[in-house]
A and B are shown apart, each in its own frame.
Chain A
Amino acid sequence: MLRKQDALLLLLDVGPSMHSVLPEIEKACSLLVQKKMIYSKNDEVGIVLFGAEDTDNELTTEVGGYQHVVVLKKIKVVDGDILEALQQLPRGTTDGDFLDAVIVGMDMLIKKFDQTNKGKKRLCLITNAQCPIKEPYEGTKEEQVTIIAKQLTAHGMKMESIIFRGKLGQDANREIMDENDHLLNIFSKETSTRLLYLENPISLFGALRTRNITLVTTFRGDLEISPKLSIKVMVYKKTAEEKFPTLKKYSDKAPSNDQYATHELKIDYEYKSSEDRDKVLSPDQRIKGYPYGPQIVPISRSEWDAVKFQPEKGVKVLGFTDSSNVFRHHYMKDVYVFLPQPGNTGAMLALSALARAMKEMDKVAILRCVWRKGQSNVSIGVLTPNLSDKENIPDSFYLNVIPFAEDVREFQFPSFSNFPASWKPNGQQLEAAANLIKTLDLAPHGQAEVLLPDFTTNPVLERFYRFLELKSKDPDVAVPPIDDTLKKITEPDADLLLQNKSVIDSFCRSFELKGQPLKKSRRLWGEKRSSTNDVIENASVKVEKIGDLTPAQDFEALISRRDSPDWVVKAIKEMKNRIFDLVEDSHEGDNYPKAFECLVVLRKGCILEQEPKQFNDFLKHICNFCRENRLHTFCQYLASKDLTLISKTEAVDSDVSDEEARSFLVESEPKVE
């Protein structure tokens, strides 16, 4: 049996105000046509442009009027021709009148199919509805729209309107837009029109439903609340993953000149006896076995059928509970939607009453579901109300499958409160995090939510289909990069980051990670892993590196390690680097106290470890460095803190006298000035 064909007419606004988003429209529409070519090859598509430079449509020739409406492609079965036309849409020169386009489109569909086509007929209007529509010859615009809408319904056509508003330009005329919105609303009410307003070009891809999936009920029958009360419902899938198209395995064995070769690979499974490698067993010679310990217990099909768990078909409410008793992260699978049986007012009212009461009381219902007869398992789910704010959509419920006791794994994790203080954020760090969260807001008040899943297309699929098309023309073409518009799905919005630069910078600064190369942390990870073994043998984990947060403590820990003399050298070396970094990165001296603190412990450590030269050389070095790099304020800061070189009295190995030590910084200061 041939599937019913769907017919779709794209009504595209190509007027000057639309030019900026036309590239996205081209891509989104191409995607739609490509998917049709793969999944529903018999569907038909036509393209009508309005706001175009030329005029070319049958109504003009028949009755006149309908200027600047071009029938780019007549309605025909999807093919490469339509795809190519969509990829290079002509740019229009006049303001488009969407009403004209709707009438032309409707006329085309009626002429082509009238009553013969039983499939769905759809019009898809993409415009910004910023331009005025013409006054009709008789009656008001409203009346005209109402008449057209009635006509659409009478002929069984549906309309989808995607209104792209973007960031409103200055020249947009509020009045016209409001009027147009009002007219479009009439369409929405009179016909079953989906009316969408978009602000973001990314949403264009998602708003245009590129694939039509026939909805199949998962279950139809009673939602049993008690043995005495059941409500007739229909259950559908609300979400289901759209998978990558199924590819076949390719065989290159066929001779290259055989143009009729299928190049398909068949997969063949053979069940062979483990004793006799040549013996292949037929299905009736095999039996299923299930593991029980080291043993495998064979159970024949009939045996299994006799003892297996066989629940009765039906959907029953176990009870209601506070919504806080069910965690969001326990939702297990794709989601179902429960709708009242069509035409059954009682069911509609009952669901509506329950949904609204549950919403008010913040309750959810727990359900036991066996969708089909003969199903060998049950699922339990949580029913959450979904109140409709539209007049023509009834209230409904969403059902999410929740885990059984066996499905939850109780792993334990350390409590944050048990961590050492250095791991816990301080007040200032918390504030920086809170500010970051507030500024990187994807759902700002009064504006459309960014990256709304309902309007966000799968960038992988988009890329795949684009690659497919390119490859059909040139088999050796490389994989194209991800679409620029869709890149915003995978990476943070650069504009948003730029606008909030100060907040982000302060966030980075409070965690001292600014400019830290990522590779470093990677390497660090590897280092740690390799050293874990000997650490365990020593039965103690010690600090192995001077970190960013508590360099002074780390240094002390490191230098007091006794398991290898290398630690002292390492500690001093790393500490020097840290101090250098601190001084270098400091902004108007904000790191000086920390650097000073580090210097003090370094000094102490060097005295203890009899390494005064290390410290003295370093201090001299850093002072020279500061002078050269106009960081003389640091030297002043040190001098004010009475930091001195290590003298002979403090460490025997030092070649610096007491006096020299004391005067070092004092001396250097005047030099700078």
Chain B
Amino acid sequence: MDGRVAILLIVRPFKSLYFVSNIWQPLSVLGLAQQWLDERKEKLQCKMELDADDFFRDEEDQAEAQESLLEGELSKEYVVYLVDASPKMFNTLFPTQEHQKLESHFHIAISCISQTLKTQIITRSYDQVAICFFNTREKKNLQDLKSVFVFNVPEREFLDRPTARLIKEFDQLEESFSKNIGSQHGIVSDTRENSLYNAIWAAQALLRKGSAKTVDKRILLFTNDDDPFGSIKGAAKSDMIRMTLQRAKDAQDLGISIEILPLSCPDEVFKISQFYADLIGLEGDDLVDFMPEAGKKLEDMNSQLRKRMFTKRIVKRLKFTIVNGVSIELNSYALVRHTEPGAVTWLDSVTNLPLKIERTFICADTGAVVENPTKQFLPYKKKNINCTIWGIAIVAENRSFWNLIIANYLFWDKSVIEGGQNITFSMEQLSEIKRISTGQLNLLGFKPLSCLRDYYNLKPSSFLYPSYEITSARDMINVVLVGFKQVLTFQKLGLRLIGFTNLVSKGTDSSMCIFIALHRSMIQLNRFAVAFSGSSSRPQLVALIAQEEVIQSGIQIEPPGMHMIYLPYSDDIRLVEERYSDTSGMVTKASSDQIKRAADLIKRVDLKDFSVCQISNPALQRHYAVLQALALEEDDVPEMKDETLPDEEGLARPGVVRAVEEFKTSIYGDNYDEQNEHGIGKPTEASKKRKAMVEFATTECKQYDWGELADTGKLKDLTVVELKYYLTAHNLPVSGKKEAIISRILSHMGK
């Protein structure tokens, strides 16, 4: 596809990043718009969803957790989608190669918003949206302005969090649009009505709630009419233009940013300079032209990952002590963390209302309720006590009986009581024990990278970057300008705004300088730093690896900084290989011919451009797909492609098959199948026993007429042992009570 895009970008006060594009390929407009909306969200700060805090819980104290919200100035985003509904938007465009379907600009705008809503409800459900059409026949809005219609569903304010119902009804909106809302020409010469003015005013009213300091407010305007006032002339025109521009400026002064998503027809290009450049305040000097890689299919957008976006937030501030009291301030970030589906809430199965979970501590000795226990203990120098006797003692609440049991117990083994001891610890003592280091991060020395073994790993790494201050975009302009081309880059399809990093400040000059010097030298010398991290949860040795910045086609793939890898202690490393070695005396290693065959095979099954970001988690994707289907009351759950499965087709290619066969022959000779099926060496004791049990059960099982027993309801007359013959013979779990076993047998028999 041959798309042509010009993006004009201007850096104005922090929040307003405007751009405009000229595109005649409608599909890429949709793609662009979708991508743009998502990227825009990613860039801005959002409130961490509550359960996401779990990821950080083990890494810091509560005090630190509070501090770590430092950067999250903008916590929410309020967006008004302003869609032009004039008849021009409904003109169908040429069918595209991929889709033999006629599409209108209106349809593109609607499906784009719909997709965004579906993603948003999972990733950033705290954001609020309103959907507003202008140039409509009907009106529905707060000020009762003409030609403006705010779309909404019951149980929801105009500007509110998206709900499943909103998404569902919005999906069906297009069919009923002309009936319920209707389209009409906006600004016509005879009337004094100015629908664009009304639309902006209505949107501004919607965005009145929420403080501009904590909420990022935006108006997104979808239109394909580059000259809304084209049909009128004379003084009325200039008057209207002036009024509309003033309205837009007022909105911007209130901290609302207006962004335009122009949709242009194949035959006429959307001319931003006609009118809209003035509306959003574009000026010549600030325009940055950009030609993105053209052509990207619609499917790519629709298979958009339902990714949870995380706010770039500092996990912890660290003081990195280098030598002799020289220290620098670092921030740590979590770049890689396991993503879990949202937290589970327990509901009442009848009313579906959430339940309150109350936790109480009950003293096992007296049964009294204890509040906020502060001490913990560990039994020490104490032998195992007879559990059955204890069990009775606890069940029997009668105090005298309890004592009786104890007396009995005493008689039974006196030494236990004498030797036993409970050592109690207060919380302060426990945290004091863990406080073994004076600094937060102490440098101990350096080692060559080859010393960092593959098995030195326990948990995901953290990323370290010198601490820098957040200031507004304008202040940073100097820094940004230096790297302007680099900073404002767009991913393949478009518009991935590399955030301008909230600008750095001074005062940390020497810190930054030391950090960069160490960083460069470590890369150059191939060393990593060994340091001790005195965190309060688990103080441990860490390896600091300098990461060089990686930029591919203008995108920062890996940021510059240091990765902190948590090293295990000797107690955490298991000597598996060595313990394993004793069972089989001498061990053979592969010959050079066998290695060569293996190399051939490896060459055949090569993943050339593998990167970790390619594969999405099928379990998570499935989870969200199911939730979406249930919430929207859709009948079937869309099948997700499991990207973790090997490429069966590729593996069946003759070249690969040949390489596999050659490798097999060189290792196993001709008896691969034999060795793999039977040649498991000698079966272990346990497996022999298990086999014998199954055989026995199978023969026993045949002695009963299970079908008849089940039909006559006589299963319950059999003993559990007899019932288990059936289960063992049919390879079913044998656990549970008798009733459970019987029901399992019945369900297995299909009765």
A384 lies within 8 A of B573 (CB): no
| A-B contact list, 15 entries, CB within 8 Å | A269-B357, A272-B358, A290-B342, A293-B121, A330-B336, A378-B642, A403-B612, A405-B612, A411-B335, A418-B482, A419-B512, A468-B423, A475-B423, A493-B445, A525-B329
A289 lies within 8 A of B345 (CB): yes
A545 lies within 8 A of B507 (CB): yes
CA distance A211 to B499 in the complex (A): 49
B479 lies within 8 A of A414 (CB): yes
Given contacts A241-B458, A263-B377, A293-B125, contact A411 B559 (CB under 8 A): yes
B656 lies within 8 A of A226 (CB): yes
Report the interface size class on chain A.
35 or more
B445 lies within 8 A of A265 (CB): no
A267 lies within 8 A of B352 (CB): no
| A residues 325-379 touching B (CB-CB < 8 Å) | 325-335, 337, 339, 341-346, 348-350, 352-354, 356-358, 360-361, 363, 366, 368, 376-378
Partner of A490, one of B501, B539, B585: B539
Nearest Cβ in chain A — how far from B582, in angstroms? 4
B664 lies within 8 A of A541 (CB): no
Which residues of the other chain, B, contact A459 by a CB distance below 8 angstroms? Answer: 436, 539
Which residues of the other chain, A, contact B608 by a CB distance below 8 angstroms? Answer: 321
| A residues 277-313 touching B (CB-CB < 8 Å) | 281, 284-300, 304, 307-309, 311
Please encode chain B, from 609 to 627, with 1 for each CB lying within 8 Å of some chain A CB and 0 for all others.
1111111111110110011
Query: Which 10 interchain pairs have the tightest Cβ spacing?
Result: A343-B681, A206-B570, A192-B582, A353-B590, A247-B376, A418-B483, A357-B598, A425-B517, A329-B563, A413-B559
B352 lies within 8 A of A456 (CB): no
Tell me whether B411 is interfacial, beta carbon within 8 Å: no
A409 lies within 8 A of B335 (CB): yes
Please encode chain A, from 603 to 636, with 1 for each CB lying within 8 Å of some chain B CB and 0 for all others.
0000000000000000000000000000000000
A253 lies within 8 A of B363 (CB): yes
B162 lies within 8 A of A293 (CB): yes
| A residues 239-265 touching B (CB-CB < 8 Å) | 239-242, 245, 247-254, 258-265
B506 lies within 8 A of A325 (CB): no
CA distance A183 to B559 in the complex (A): 53
Please encode chain B, from 377 to 421, with 1 for each CB lying within 8 Å of some chain A CB and 0 for all others.
110111110000000000000000000001000000000010101
Which residues of the other chain, A, contact B63 by a CB distance below 8 angstroms? Answer: none
Tell me whether B505 is interfacial, beta carbon within 8 Å: yes
A247 lies within 8 A of B559 (CB): no
Which residues of the other chain, A, contact B613 by a CB distance below 8 angstroms? Answer: 405, 408
A491 lies within 8 A of B532 (CB): yes
Which residues of the other chain, A, contact B577 by a CB distance below 8 angstroms? Answer: 337, 339, 386, 388, 393-394, 396
Residue of B nearest to A377 (CB): B619
Partner of B381, one of A80, A296, A392, A419: A80
A393 lies within 8 A of B355 (CB): no
Tell me whether A659 is interfacial, beta carbon within 8 Å: no
B344 lies within 8 A of A290 (CB): yes
B570 lies within 8 A of A455 (CB): yes
Given contacts A291-B125, A489-B532, contact A440 B631 (CB under 8 A): no
Partner of A511, one of B326, B406, B572, B580: B326
Instruction: Tell me how many residue pairs across A and B have CB atoms closer than 8 Å.
Output: 738
Please encode chain A, from 426 to 449, with 1 for each CB lying within 8 Å of some chain B CB and 0 for all others.
000110111011101111000001
Which residues of the other chain, A, contact B354 by a CB distance below 8 angstroms? Answer: 274, 289, 296
B530 lies within 8 A of A353 (CB): no
Report the interface size class on chain B.
35 or more
CA distance A532 to B351 in the complex (A): 50
A262 lies within 8 A of B574 (CB): no
Q: Which one, B266-274, B644-652, B716-724, is touching chain A?
A: B644-652
Partner of A346, one of B503, B571, B623, B675: B675
Tell me whether B438 is interfacial, beta carbon within 8 Å: yes
| B residues 356-371 touching A (CB-CB < 8 Å) | 356-366, 368, 370
Which residues of the other chain, A, contact B82 by a CB distance below 8 angstroms? Answer: none
Nearest Cβ in chain B — how far from A444, in angstroms? 10
A318 lies within 8 A of B359 (CB): no
CA distance A81 to B272 in the complex (A): 89
Which residues of the other chain, B, contact A292 by a CB distance below 8 angstroms? Answer: 121-122, 125, 164, 627-628, 630-631
Which residues of the other chain, B, contact A413 by a CB distance below 8 angstroms? Answer: 465, 501, 556, 559-561
Partner of B365, one of A261, A287, A377: A261
Nearest Cβ in chain A — how far from B167, in angstroms? 8
Tell me whether B375 is interfacial, beta carbon within 8 Å: yes
B590 lies within 8 A of A250 (CB): no
Given contacts A343-B682, A353-B667, A411-B312, contact A405 B305 (CB under 8 A): yes
Q: Which one, A4-12, A59-67, A229-237, is touching chain B?
A: A229-237
Nearest Cβ in chain A — how far from B423, in angstroms? 5
Contacts A353-B590, A437-B522, A449-B451 supplied; 13 other A-B pairs, CB < 8 Å: A206-B569, A269-B357, A286-B347, A329-B461, A331-B454, A331-B460, A343-B681, A368-B644, A398-B454, A404-B617, A420-B478, A479-B432, A507-B323
